[in-house]
């Protein structure tokens, strides 16, 4: 261990980055310690902030690793002054270095509850790295450092416990009780694994027992302590989502995947606010899609209150252009939305693959989207996240509108800026109340992309993009597509007006405009003289072994030909002798 010479080299420094330290002090007959944050340090001592006041009479042992130091340093200190916490501020403590000779003996010099290796380990874990610097010490003080001998059962099947454990060293086995009452080892956990995490998610009785197979070092975290950290630092809720997705996809207990009357099978997608799994009804064996909201959204008090109010309405939506919601379940401290399972391609993927769409096809899509969205608006539901990724194209160009998980009632304020910035209305960006006209703005942005193949504003800089949506009118789409019908151009520009009052007031108004545009386009096409048809015959000679490759090539050629308006016929194979 280095001495204070290393600190003197640094002279007086401010700990601008996180500077970890731990103080150990004698409290009655038990050794106690506390993680503290270093504010600054000098050749005389260290200024730290602490969660709990320190007894000014105590002799303090300090273990510190400054930002410019490569190893931990141990000192004996006394408390020079102590400023108690007030008005939400931490305790501030001034520690003065004592000469090394003031230590009582070698036993006291080496006495410390944690080693530098222990501290380096916990600081390197994913959970701690999620935390902001000013929250790390508070979180570390919520952990309990434990050492176990081999053969200790520290999690017991059937007991209602509320702790998870981060494994620093050692090996443990997970055991479940089979129907015949025999015990079976189903998995093992080792260094850096987390065990018992379901307790933080449900608080329900344990589904397995866990026994140490060697000497172990563990860090224990109780549910109530974790909840306190989540309240102060909501970003930590991301960790709960990571725990749950890992549990659902790798669980040795099938029951963990049961969500009400449904069972998850495997993940099929994810977005900014959720993960989507394929599942099935446990008795009807009907396929379903199960959307799991991420915890940073589902644990937000304002969001969950609004969602519960609107959830029953969302579940009652029934329209051929809206995905059918079967159930809404709350479990594992989040929300699961069970909906019909659909096969198809997202509009987002189609635009990425083909660019601008033919006018007639784009109008067909928009009219179906507006039909479903107008129905939702009539039920007092605003979608808030209209974008190509939430539009599914099925067989025969049937459209399904997805993802009402962020929906709200008209007039609700949007301080969380829910939605996708590329398609977000100015009032959403600024956190103002949203209504049907906010969805119409997003619809106009999406229509611009469908007809031109490009977004109206560059999206490589999100902050700049938000300012453009708020302050700048979108470009005239006819500049990119000169033959774009004027009715479509005016529809896009009016839908994307900065002021909601200047947009269409309802989707029913939009449907009338689009229907008229579709009829006009149909008449123009019918008036055009038909070009004389020509036939081009292509003969391809190939070996039988080349058949699969040729079939794939013909499928791609057929798809591209259809996009260009060609009629393609493939004749049956003819064997050449």
Q: Are residues 185 and 215 in the same domain?
A: yes
Q: Are residues 332 and 373 in the same domain?
A: no
Task: Give a yes or no: residue 564 inside a domain.
Answer: no
Instruction: Give me the pLDDT at residue 212, please.
Output: 96
CATH number at residue 140: 2.60.120.10
Cα 254 from chain centroid?
24
Q: Are residues 399 and 319 in the same domain?
A: no
- Give me the catalytic one of 102, 120, 352, 385: 385
Task: Give a yes or no: residue 441 inside a domain.
Answer: yes
CATH number at residue 324: 3.30.200.20
Task: Give a yes or no: residue 45 inside a domain.
Answer: yes
Instruction: Give me the pLDDT at residue 3, please.
Output: 38
> What's the DSSP call for residue 103?
S
Task: Give a yes or no: residue 252 inside a domain.
Answer: no
Longest dimension (CA), the chain: 106
Phi (first) and psi of residue 510, to 5 degrees: -65, -40
Q: Are residues 393 and 415 in the same domain?
A: yes
Q: Are residues 216 and 270 in the same domain?
A: no
Q: Are residues 285 and 212 in the same domain?
A: no
Catalytic status, residue 105: no
Instruction: Give me the pLDDT at residue 1, please.
Output: 39
Instruction: Give me the pLDDT at residue 4, please.
Output: 40
Q: Would you tell me the crossing angle of helices 507-527 and 359-378 to the nearest 10 degrees?
A: 160
Q: Which domain holds residue 25?
A: 5-113
Q: Are residues 431 and 511 in the same domain?
A: yes
Closest by CA position to 241, among listed 298, 299, 295: 295
Q: What is the DSSP string of 347-406?
A: HHHHHHHH-SPPHHHHHHHHHHHHHHHHHHHHTT-B-S--SGGGEEE-GGG-EEE---TT
Domain count across the chain: 4
Cα 218 from chain centroid?
28
Phi (first) and psi of residue 179, to 5 degrees: -65, -30
Per residue of the chain (577 residues), give pLDDT as tens.
343 444 344 344 454 456 778 887 654 444 478 898 888 878 888 898 888 877 777 778 888 886 666 788 888 888 888 888 777 678 888 999 888 655 545 555 556 778 889 999 999 998 888 888 888 888 898 999 999 999 999 999 888 888 999 999 999 999 988 877 788 898 899 999 999 888 888 878 888 899 999 999 999 999 998 888 888 888 888 888 888 888 888 776 666 788 989 999 999 888 778 889 999 999 999 999 999 988 888 888 877 877 777 777 778 889 999 999 898 898 888 999 899 999 999 999 999 999 999 999 999 999 999 999 999 999 888 998 899 999 999 999 999 998 875 666 565 555 454 668 999 999 999 988 889 999 999 999 999 999 999 999 998 899 999 999 999 999 999 999 999 999 999 999 999 999 999 999 999 999 999 999 999 888 877 666 656 667 777 778 877 777 777 777 877 776 666 666 666 676 656 666 5
Task: Give a yes or no: residue 540 inside a domain.
Answer: no
Of 340, 357, 378, the residue at which a domain comes to its end is 340
Task: Give a yes or no: residue 550 inside a domain.
Answer: no
CATH number at residue 93: 2.40.10.220
User: Cα separations (Å) of 304 from 272, 385, 403, 516, 545?
Assistant: 17, 17, 16, 41, 59
Q: Are residues 234 and 313 in the same domain?
A: no
Q: Are residues 210 and 99 in the same domain?
A: no
Q: Are residues 195 and 309 in the same domain?
A: no
Q: Beta-carbon neighbour count of residue 516 at 10 Å? A: 12
Of 113, 135, 164, the residue at which a domain comes to its end is 113
Residues β-bridged to residue 187 = 174
Of 228, 247, 266, the residue at which a domain comes to its end is 247
Task: Give a yes or no: residue 65 inside a domain.
Answer: yes
Task: Give a yes or no: residue 535 inside a domain.
Answer: no
How far apart CA 291 and CA 268 sit, in angstroms, is 10
Q: Are residues 494 and 414 in the same domain?
A: yes
346 close to 337: Cβ distance less than 8 angstroms:
no
CATH number at residue 377: 1.10.510.10
Instruction: Give me the pLDDT at residue 7, please.
Output: 38
131 close to 139: Cβ distance less than 8 angstroms:
yes
Which residues, other chains included, contact 5 with Cβ-Cβ below 8 Å and sequence gap of 6+?
none
How far apart CA 312 and CA 304 sit, in angstroms, is 13
Instruction: Give me the pLDDT at residue 5, please.
Output: 41
Q: Would you tell me the crossing angle of helices 347-354 and 436-452 to the nearest 10 degrees?
A: 30
Q: Are residues 166 and 108 in the same domain?
A: no
């Amino acid at each position: 261990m280095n001495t204070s010479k290393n600190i003197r080299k640094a002279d007086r420094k401010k700990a601008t980055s996180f500077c970890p330290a731990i103080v150990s002090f004698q409290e009655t007959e038990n050794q106690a310690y506390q993680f503290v944050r270093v504010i600054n340090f000098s050749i005389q001592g260290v200024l730290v902030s602490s969660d709990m006041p320190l007894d000014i009479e105590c002799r303090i042992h300090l273990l510190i690793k400054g930002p410019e130091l490569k190893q931990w340093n141990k000192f004996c200190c006394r408390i020079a002054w102590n400023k108690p916490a007030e008005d939400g501020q931490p305790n501030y403590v001034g520690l003065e270095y004592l000469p090394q000779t003031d230590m009582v003996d070698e036993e006291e010099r080496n006495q410390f509850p944690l080693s530098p290796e222990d501290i380096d380990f916990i600081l390197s874990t994913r959970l701690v790295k999620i935390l902001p610097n000013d929250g790390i010490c508070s979180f570390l003080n919520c952990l309990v450092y434990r050492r176990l001998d081999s053969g200790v059962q520290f999690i017991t099947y059937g007991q209602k416990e509320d702790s998870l454990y981060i494994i620093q060293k050692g090996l443990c086995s997970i055991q479940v009780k089979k129907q015949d009452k025999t015990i079976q080892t189903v998995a093992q956990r080792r260094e850096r694994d987390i065990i018992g995490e379901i307790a933080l998610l449900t608080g329900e009785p344990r589904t397995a027992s866990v026994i140490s197979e060697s000497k172990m070092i563990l860090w224990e975290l109780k549910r109530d302590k974790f909840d306190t950290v989540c309240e102060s630092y909501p970003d930590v809720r991301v960790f709960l989502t990571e725990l749950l997705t890992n549990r659902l996809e790798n669980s040795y207990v099938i029951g963990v995947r049961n969500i009400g009357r449904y069972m998850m099978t495997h993940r099929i997608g994810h977005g900014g606010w959720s993960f989507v799994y394929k599942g099935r009804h446990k008795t009807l064996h009907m396929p379903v899609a199960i959307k799991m909201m991420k915890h940073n959204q589902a644990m937000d008090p304002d969001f969950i209150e609004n969602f519960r109010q609107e959830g029953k309405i969302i579940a009652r939506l029934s329209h051929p252009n809206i995905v059918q919601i079967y159930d809404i379940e709350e479990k594992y401290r989040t929300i699961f939305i069970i909906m019909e399972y659909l096969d198809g391609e997202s509009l987002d993927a189609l635009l990425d693959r083909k660019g601008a769409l033919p006018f007639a096809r784009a109008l067909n899509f928009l009219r179906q989207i507006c039909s479903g969205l107008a129905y939702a608006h009539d039920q007092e539901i605003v979608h808030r996240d209209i974008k190509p990724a939430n539009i599914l194209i099925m067989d025969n160009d049937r459209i399904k509108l997805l993802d009402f998980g962020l929906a709200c009632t008209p007039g609700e304020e949007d301080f969380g800026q829910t939605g996708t910035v590329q398609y977000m209305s100015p009032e959403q960006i600024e956190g103002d109340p949203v209504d049907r006209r906010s969805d119409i703005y997003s619809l106009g942005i999406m229509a611009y992309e469908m007809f031109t193949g490009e977004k109206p504003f560059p999206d490589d800089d999100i902050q700049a993009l938000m300012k453009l949506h708020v302050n700048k009118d979108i470009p005239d789409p006819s500049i990119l597509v000169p033959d774009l019908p004027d009715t479509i151009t005016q529809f896009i520009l009016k839908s994307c007006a900065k002021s909601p009052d200047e947009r269409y007031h309802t989707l029913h108004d939009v449907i009338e405009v689009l229907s008229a545009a579709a009829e006009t386009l149909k008449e123009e096409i019918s008036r055009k003289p038909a070009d004389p048809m020509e036939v081009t015959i292509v003969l391809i000679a190939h070996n039988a072994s080349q058949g699969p490759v040729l079939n794939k090539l013909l499928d791609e050629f057929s798809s591209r030909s259809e996009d260009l308006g060609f009629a393609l016929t493939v004749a049956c194979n003819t064997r050449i002798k």
